[in-house]
Amino acid sequence: MGKYKTGTSKETIAEADKIAKATQRPGQTKEQTKLIAQGIQKGIEQFKKQQKERTREINKKLKSARQKTNDSIKEPLTEELTSPSNNPTILPWTLLVLSWICFVCYWLLN
């Protein structure tokens, strides 16, 4: 079985051989069985690659979704901290004018 491609795990090769021998037909030669085992091995490798790609895609989507939710949570907090109200200058000026009016009224009454 040394004719298999390198880079495949021994478990994959053993599993492919096991499946090929289990599905062996009467009168089938060893070479035919080896070819079937190689085809099964390629199928297993292709399946594993597809699963890895799907896992990577799912992880990327999860990561981007987490970043979006984190960003959406952080944005309102920073907006609230930077601008507590829409017109932040009205209150101080109103208080200043009221205090001067009170001062003038107090001064005029005394």
Q: Is the pLDDT of residue 87 over 70?
A: no
The pTM (predicted TM-score) of the whole model is: 0.52
> Six-digit token pair at 24?
């062996």
Whether the pLDDT of residue 110 is over 60: the answer is yes
Average pLDDT over residues 59-86: 73
Find the mean pLDDT for residues 4-10.
69
Q: Return all residues near 17 (Cβ < 8 A) that are at least 6 apart.
A: 1, 37
Q: Which of 16-25, 50-59, 81-90 has the lowest mean pLDDT?
A: 81-90
